[in-house]
Structure 1
């Protein structure tokens, strides 16, 4: 039950309302197919490469969180929108170098790619300086692909324990990207490994708020929901096919 990744290109608030409603309908159907309450699944719009003028239309249609892979692009959008849309949340969902942790600490509400104690400690220091806190997801490489970031599932318990003293970080769950394949069994295996890892950590005494599974994107979020996702990261399903700048 893999899904069509990209929606029609959205150019008006009405287009965005239509696309958002279509994605939410699919979320509801996927949840219902395994007896889950659809309200337990949060849609995280992925807004990378989307310019501000289009995002304003999407916000008018109901987008309330911006998910960005690159922290500097996310920071620029925060600066653009903070006066007009103070309610917006910002989620950094891509890998982060320690030298850019200072930017995340300034504005982000969520970070979905925590993969080392060094990065966690750097974020802690930066968040102390900003007097802020940050929800974090530990990223796990569940596919075995070298192109993907994240720690091994077997390392998650040690990292979660190591960041416990870092009081500016709020560990809320795990994140993964499924195997890059059209094979549904392989995709489900990635998601099941993440869910199993979460269950093991909870059984071992993880913090009470450590309940979230950030997994599933435009092409596979329905499978992710069936395997337990609580956050699905959807870009092209809302905005349409991404348009990258051309290079000479």
Structure 2
């Protein structure tokens, strides 16, 4: 199937999930995860009307998106991969939303760069709901304190929370945990659910789902350990 056809199928499936969960139509935003795919492939999705995309790495994004954004000016780019503090400057310049704030050093670096660049971007805190040592994200037991640090000490607005459940576990409990943490901290947005589990994520309150392979097809396995757990 073509990318426009696959994109249409995912959009229809999301609409059906919203209806089944008795949620407002259009309340879930589809992030088309275009990491590892080149500009020509991405352009097919852009020409089919998709405008919200997710990328995993600053350097890869820098190489292909500036030209695409000249052609399609209303694109919204989300960073969904781990961020190093030395890449904060470029990340703030390139992206509209960062989903992977997960430690004080990164939060401080992003705040400094937003001030320097006079640019405000939306921020999500990544929660490691499975407490997996190889995966990025703040531990659930530390989530409230870290959210308080970002909002209080740094004065940052946290738009939402993000999680990537362990691949071998039922994601439902992890989605529920993320929703619980968000609710008690007064955070409205939930970035959860990927190609294999976004219907369940929508049932549990996701407002953003990150879908890649169901739209673009399967990609090669990542070579970097920093991508662990980020198959979408």
TM-score (norm 1): 0.84
Deviation beyond 3 Å, 4+ runs, structure 1? 243-246
1:229 offset after TM fit, Å? 0.7
Map 1:45-124 → 2, pairs under 5 A:
45-124=32-111
Among candidates 137, 145, 149, match of residue 136 of structure 2? 149
User: What are the superposed Cα offsets for residues 61-104 of structure 1, whole Å, 9 maximum, x if unpaired?
Assistant: 01202200111111222322232122111110011110111111
Q: Secondary structure at the match of 1:137?
A: strand
Partner Cα distance (1:112, 1:211) in 2 = 14
Correspondent of 1:172 among 136, 159, 171: 159
Q: Which runs of 5+ in 1 are unaligned?
A: 1-7, 9-14, 203-209
User: C-alpha distance in 2, partners of 1:132/1:60?
Assistant: 28
User: Aligned partners of 1:243, 1:163: CA distance in 2, in Å?
Assistant: 36
RMSD: 1.8
Contact 1:49–1:244 under 8 Å retained in 2: no
Gaps of 5+ in 2: 224-232
The equivalent of 1:40 in structure 2 is 27
Q: What are the Cα deviations for residues 145-182 of structure 1, in whole angstroms up to 9, with x where unaligned?
A: 22221111222221222122545x4310100001212x
Corresponding residue number in structure 1 for 2:227: none
Q: Cα deviation per residue 1:31-77 (whole Å; 9 max; x = unaligned)?
A: 22221123111100000011011111110001202200111111222
Cα pair 1:74 1:90 within 8 Å, conserved:
no
Name which one, 1 or 2, has greater alpha-carbon Rg.
1
Secondary structure of residue in 2 paired with 1:36 = coil
Aligned length: 222
Separation in structure 1 between the aligned mates of residue 221 and residue 141 of structure 2, nearest angstrom: 37
The structure whose RCO (Cα within 8 Å, separation 6+) is larger is 1
